[in-house]
Structure 1
Amino acid sequence: MQSNPRLCLQGTEWTIMEMTNCSLSEPDKDILDAIELWYESKRSKRGNVNRNVMAVGIGISELLQNRFPLTDDYVQSDKGSQVRGLSGACIKTVLARHGETRAFASEGGRTSRGTLPMALELATIINSALPSDICEDTRLEAANAIANFFVERIQVDFFNRQRIKVEIDLQKPISVIVDDILAEASLRSDKPTGTVAQHLVGAKLEMLFPTIEIGKDNSNAADQQTDRSGDFQINDAAFHVTVSPMAKLTDRCRDNIRNGIRPIVVVPHDKVSFAYGLFESEGLGNRVQVIALESFIGINIEELSFYKRGLIRLNVARLLAHYNKRIEDIEPDKSLQIEIPQWALDEMDAHGE
C-alpha cells in the first residue's frame, strides 16, 4: 500500500510523517456515495424520508467520532435495545455545531423500534467503506462529513418539508376549511398568511380555469413595482389578494379601472367591511368588487363539485395538491405547503392523479 506524507501534530510540533490511509478525499467520497445510496433507499414512493433515518445518521456520526470500526456491541446501548448515545439532546448538539438551531425531534428516534436495526445497517456500510487501518484524523474528518451530510438532509427533507398542519374536516363548509388553513398559518412566527392566501386563490383559479395560464409570481412580487394588473389576471379582470388592505391598493385598482380592467379584491371575511370603507373613502365604492376570500374559494369548490359529497371530497384534495404544487414551483420556503391528509392522497390515487 502506498504511503502518503502527512503533516501531523506531535506534542507542540508539526512533523512530516509517512502514514497510510490518511488522505480524506478517497475515503470521504466512497463513504458519502455509499451513505447516499443507503439514505435514498429509505425514501418512500411519495418522496419522503422518515426522520428516524436522519436521526440514525447523526447518532452514528457521533459514534464514529470516538471509535472505529463500529461494532454491533458499540452501536447498541448497554441494554441492547437502543442506539448508544442517541437522544434529542445529542441531535440538537450536532445540529447546532453545524449552524442549525431549529427543533428537530425531542426523542431523536431513540424509542422507535426500527431505529436500532437501521443504525446497525448503516454501521456495516461505514465499516465496509472506510479502510480498517484508518488514522484518527481521517476518521474524525469522515465523521464530520457524515454528520454534515445528515444535517443537510434534515434541512432539505425535514425542515423544508415541514408543512402547515390543519384538520381538513369535510363536515364543515369549504369556506370554513379555508379559514382554518389561514388561522393555522397565522400562528407561525414568520406570519405567512398573505402568501398562503395568495396561493390558495391561485390554486382555485387553476381549477376553475384549467385552459388559462394562472400567474405564478413569488408572493414578494406583490410588494414590488411590476407591470402586473393584479396578483392574477383572468381576461379583463384583475384579482388582488391581500390579508391587509391598505391605501396603495386603491391606487392599483384605480389604475385597473383607467385601463379598462375590472378590479376584484379578495380579502379575509373579517377585512371585508374595512376594504369596503377604504374604497368608499377614495370614491371607488361602486367600482371595486370586494369578496371574502374564504367564500370565494369555498363556494367555487362546491359549485365545481355540483354540491355532491364525493366530488367535494375529490376537489378539496385537488385544491390542496394545486396549492402545494404552486408553493413547490414558486416559493423558496417549502414549509408553506399544507400537510395533505391520507384520505385526500387516497382519493387522488383512486382517480389516477
Structure 2
Amino acid sequence: MHTPKALPQPSGPPGRLRSSRFLHSFRGYVKYKYLTILFLPAAVYYFIFHYMPIYGILIAFKNYKFSLGVMGSPWVGLDHFRELFALGSFWQVFRNTLILSLYKLVFGFPAPILFALLLNEIRVSFFKRTVQTISYFPHFLSWVVLSGLAIQFLSPSIGPVNILLQMLGFKPIFFMGNAEWFRSVLVVTDVWKELGWGTIVYLAAIAGVNPELHEAATVDGANRFHRMRYVTLPAMAPVITIMLIIAIGRLINDDFDQVFNMYNKAVMEVGDVLSTYTYRVGLENMQYSFSTAVGLFKNVIAFALVLTANAIARRINEYGLW
C-alpha cells in the first residue's frame, strides 16, 4: 500500500508561522482531494446537526416562548437550574440513571472483550463467522422491535422463561412490571443487543497483535490461556482504555429508545431516567427551557467525567484520548 509522504513543516516568526500552517493545511487538503471529498459528508453532517444547534442551549437561561423565538425570549439566568435542583423527582431520575449506567458498565463493558477473546480462539472459520453474524444481528434492529420481542419472551403467561419456571415448580414472574427485575431486564437486553457490535473493535485490536509474540510464547511453553492473558490482553490495552473512557463519559447518559419502549407506570420509580424525564417535561408538558436545563446539566457532567477518566488513564498507563 502506498503511504503518502508528509508535507514539509513550516517554520518562522509566530505571525508568519500561523499563516504558513494554514497554507500548509490547505495544500494538504488540495493534494489529497479525494480523501477530502470522502471526509466532507461527515463534516457537513456534524456541522449541521451537532454544531449549529448549539446556540439552542440559550433556552436553558431564558423563559422560552415559541412566539418570541430563542433570541426574543426574556432572560431568567439560572432560575431553571435552581428549580431543577430543588425538585425531588429530578434527583430520583438522576439516581436511576447512574444506577442503570453503572450496571451496564460493570456487566456490559467487559462482555465484548471476553467475547472477542473467545471468538479469537475458535479455529473453525465457518463456525466463527456464523457466531459473529448471529451476535451482530440484534444491533441492526431497533428497540421498538427488540422491546416487543423481550416483552413477549418474558411474558408471565406465554413467555418461554416463565413457562420454564412453572415447569420447574416456581411461580411466574412479571419481569416488565416488577421493579425488582426491571433494571436487570434493561441491562441484559442492552448487553444482548450490543455484544456482537462492540466485539468488532476488540477483534480488530487482536488482529493487530504480532504473530511472532504468540510463537515466542508457545516456544517458552505458554498454553492458550497464558497467551491470551500475557500477550493478547496487553496488546488490547490501548483500545480497552479508550473504550473505557468513552463508556465512563456515557455514565450520565442513557438509552432513551430502550427505556421508553420498555418502561411503564408500574416500574416508573426505578425505570424513569433523565432522557425520559426530559421528554415528558419538554415535549409533553412543553417546558422547553426547563428540559434544556436538564440536558445541559447532563452534558456538563458527561464532559467532566470524560476529562477525569482521561486524566486518570494517562496517569495509570499513559493511554488516553489525548
State TM-score, norm by structure 2. Answer: 0.24
Greater strand share, structure number: 1
- Structure possessing the higher relative contact order (Cα contacts under 8 Å, 6 or more residues apart): 2
Greater helix share, structure number: 2
Structure possessing the higher radius of gyration over alpha carbons: 1
State TM-score, norm by structure 1. Answer: 0.23
